[in-house]
Amino acid sequence: MRQYNEWAAMLQASRSGEGAQAEVLNCTDLLSKLIVTTSARDVYGTVQAQAAALFVVNKQWRLSIQSLEDIWRCLDWASATRGARHSDAAVPALCLSIQRWWGSKLTEFDAGSGCPIARELLTDGVLALIARHSPRLQVVRLHGCLHITDWGLKQLAAERPPLHTFALEWCGGGVYLDGLRALIRSCPLLEAFSVSSGQESFSLGSVTDELVRELVACCPRIAALELSDTRVGDAGLAAIAAAYGRQLQSLQLNYTRAWGQWGVLALAQHCKALQFFSAASSAITDDALSLLGGGCPALAFVCVDRCRQVSLDGIMRLVNRGLAVQYVEMAGVFGRSSAEQRAVFGAWVQRRGMQYDARSGLLAPLQAA
Q: Could you report the per-residue pLDDT of 122-170, keeping only the tens digit for each?
A: 889 999 999 999 999 999 999 888 888 999 999 999 999 999 999 998 7
Q: What is the pLDDT of residue 4?
A: 59
Q: What is the pLDDT of residue 143?
A: 86
In a domain, 76, yes or no: yes
Ranges of the chain with pLDDT below 70: 1-72, 82-90, 113-118, 198-203, 368-369
Domain total in the chain: 1
In a domain, 77, yes or no: yes
Contact 207, 232 (CB under 8 A): yes
In a domain, 314, yes or no: yes
In a domain, 98, yes or no: yes
Q: What is the pLDDT of residue 73?
A: 79
In a domain, 196, yes or no: yes
Contacts (Cβ under 8 Å, ≥6 apart) of 359 = none
Parent domain of 257: 24-325
Contact 198, 175 (CB under 8 A): no
In a domain, 357, yes or no: no
CA atoms within 13 A on the CB side of 17: 24
In a domain, 48, yes or no: yes
Closest CA to 81 of 129, 115, 42, 33: 115
Q: What is the pLDDT of residue 7?
A: 58
**Which CATH number do you get for residue 216?**
3.80.10.10
- CA gap 282, 260 in Å, rounded: 9
Could you give the residue ranges of the DSSP H alpha helices within 54-149? 59-64, 69-72, 77-80, 90-100, 116-120, 124-133
In a domain, 137, yes or no: yes
